[in-house]
Amino acid sequence: MGKKIFSGVQPTGNLHLGNYIGAIKNFVDLQNQKGNECVYCVVDLHAITTKQDPKILKSNIRETTAAFLASGIDPKKSIIFNQSLVPSHSEGSWMLGCIARMGWLNRMTQFKEKAGKDKEKASVGLYIYPVLMAADILLYDATHVPVGEDQKQHLELSRDIAQKFNLDFNAPDFLRAPEPLIQKNFSRIMSLKDGKNKMSKSDPSDLSRINLTDSKDQIVNKIKKAKTDNDPLSDDDKNLSDRPEVENLLGIYSSLNDQSLQNSLNEFSGKNFSEFKKKLAEIVVEKISPISIEINKLQKDSNYIDIVLKEGGERANKIASKKVSEMKKIVGF
Ligand code: AQP
């Protein structure tokens, strides 16, 4: 039987290779597997949990949608929409927020990381972000959610919320506990400048990430400047445990070539970094440049993007509003 897939990406700009390898590439593969029903959402309600400039947000919504389309998500096969078009996400989130416990949310590491030292100044939205994410998923009865490793804890919370809702209201199986789909290998792409931090949109250094909109020259230059070390490459993967930058670059190479890390190690054993980086730049350019060209092309046709989102929003609304109506009845409204 096919899977019901839901996943989202925040329109917070600077979409990067980590988002592509950890999420979007997987979205396309799942869409193309027979029998799957996929819903891919530009999660703009999530984006405003941190401050956004309204004009830039609008253009980021279009850019993220363009990145979906350019990567191969097909609006005829999958539902593509932006979250704020479907009010049921907010309504469902409120009801689920009354089910989730403070203690559960207090354990969420992403809030701790994003709020930083000054938790008191973080928005309430950032704190309840995982509840909205639970609503996103549960409204579509998603069976599987493709996410990067960093979202695993939020997925577990969605499962807990679903189970507690069903139990509290004696509605067995009403909300379906979703399974995370996390790639076994290379699920966390790290910064090109520091292998201990994940590649991220908000890193102030543009050299830390490869953006999906980077030109060929920018890609080649960033890979040239990526941090490595002085030791040569060897075919023994145990040597990588304290070489996070090298492991990350080999992971990117392996993932884009659909091959194991060991195969990549065998390929470059005894060779120097300039040779490896040349090959790495070639494969990144081969996979990312067509996407980048297509994103730029699509962005010139914002009308088309808006139509895709509107039509996707209408389809999503049918599914989500039905589920929210059922939820309201169960709650007693
Ligand atoms: N470095 C990464 N490696 C693998 N997967 C990643 N994802 C994000 N960064 C990496 C996955 O991309 C999907 C969409 O992520 P998001 O829109 O929720 O953004 P994010 O996780 O907040 O992305 P950033 O870059 O980390 O943004 P900032 O800098 O704002 O924190 C998710 O499935 C995520 O796992």
42-83 residue pLDDT tens: 999 999 999 999 999 999 999 999 999 999 999 999 999 999
- The predicted structure's pLDDT at residue 181: 92
Residue 184: pLDDT over 80: no
Residues of the chain above pLDDT 90, percent: 87
Lowest-confidence region among 3-12, 62-71, 186-195: 186-195
Domain shared by 117 and 71, yes or no: yes
Measuring CA to CA, how many Å separate 295 from each of 154, 165, 308?
29, 41, 14
Domain shared by 123 and 272, yes or no: no
The CB of 147 under 6 Å from ligand 1? The reply is yes
Q: Which of 19, 113, 154, 193 to mutate to test the pocket of ligand 1 (most atoms within 8 A of CB)?
A: 19
Residues 218, 267: contact at Cβ < 8 Å?
A: no
Q: How far is the CA of 40 from the centre of ligand 1 (A)?
A: 15
22: in domain: yes
- Positions annotated as catalytic residues are 114, 198, 201
Residues 139, 88: contact at Cβ < 8 Å?
A: yes
Q: How far is the CA of 271 from the centre of ligand 1 (A)?
A: 32
Lowest-confidence region among 98-102, 187-191, 209-213, 285-289: 187-191
Domain shared by 253 and 151, yes or no: no
Ligand 1 atom 35 nearest Cα: 148
- The predicted structure's pLDDT at residue 239: 73
Kindly report the CATH number assigned to the domain that includes residue 162: 3.40.50.620
The CB of 199 under 6 Å from ligand 1? The reply is yes
pTM of the model: 0.94
In whole angstroms, give the CA distance from residue 109 to residue 115.
10
Q: Residue 153 sits in which domain range?
A: 4-188+302-331
88: in domain: yes
In whole angstroms, give the CA distance from residue 191 to residue 210.
9
Query: Which pLDDT band holds residue 186 (cuts at 50, 70, 90)?
Result: confident
Domain shared by 218 and 313, yes or no: no
247: in domain: yes
CA-based nearest residue to 247, from 182, 258, 236, 184:
236
Domain shared by 148 and 247, yes or no: no
In whole angstroms, give the CA distance from residue 25 to residue 15.
13
82: in domain: yes
Residue 101: pLDDT over 80: yes
Domain shared by 292 and 306, yes or no: no
Measuring CA to CA, how many Å separate 80 from each of 27, 32, 222, 314?
11, 15, 31, 10
The CB of 26 under 6 Å from ligand 1? The reply is no
- The predicted structure's pLDDT at residue 229: 87
Residue 189: pLDDT over 80: yes
Q: How many domains is the chain partitioned into structurally?
A: 2
Q: Which of 28, 200, 255 to mutate to test the pocket of ligand 1 (most atoms within 8 A of CB)?
A: 200
275: in domain: yes
Lowest-confidence region among 80-84, 120-124, 156-160, 184-188: 184-188
- The predicted structure's pLDDT at residue 230: 81
In whole angstroms, give the CA distance from residue 316 to residue 83.
9
Domain shared by 88 and 184, yes or no: yes
In whole angstroms, give the CA distance from residue 254 to residue 284.
11
196: in domain: no
- The predicted structure's pLDDT at residue 30: 97
- Compute how many other C-beta atoms are within 10 angstroms of the C-beta atom of residue 162: 21
Residue 203: pLDDT over 80: yes
Residue 138: pLDDT over 90: yes
- Higher model confidence: residue 230 or residue 244? 244
Pairing relationship of beta strands 4-9 and 37-42 according to DSSP bridges = parallel
Question: What 3 state SS string does 130-172 have?
Answer: HHHHHHHHHCCCCCEEECCHHHHHHHHHHHHHHHHHHHHCCCC
Q: How far is the CA of 272 from the centre of ligand 1 (A)?
A: 31
- What is the per-residue pLDDT across 313-331, written as a single tens digit (0 to 9) for each? 999 999 999 999 999 999 9
Ligand 1 atom 14 nearest Cα: 9
Domain shared by 46 and 167, yes or no: yes
Domain shared by 104 and 79, yes or no: yes
- The predicted structure's pLDDT at residue 309: 98
What is the position in ligand 1's atom list of the atom closest to the CA of 8? 14
Ligand 1 atom 26 nearest Cα: 200
- What is the per-residue pLDDT across 235-282, written as a single tens digit (0 to 9) for each? 877 778 789 999 999 999 999 999 999 999 999 988 889 999 999 999
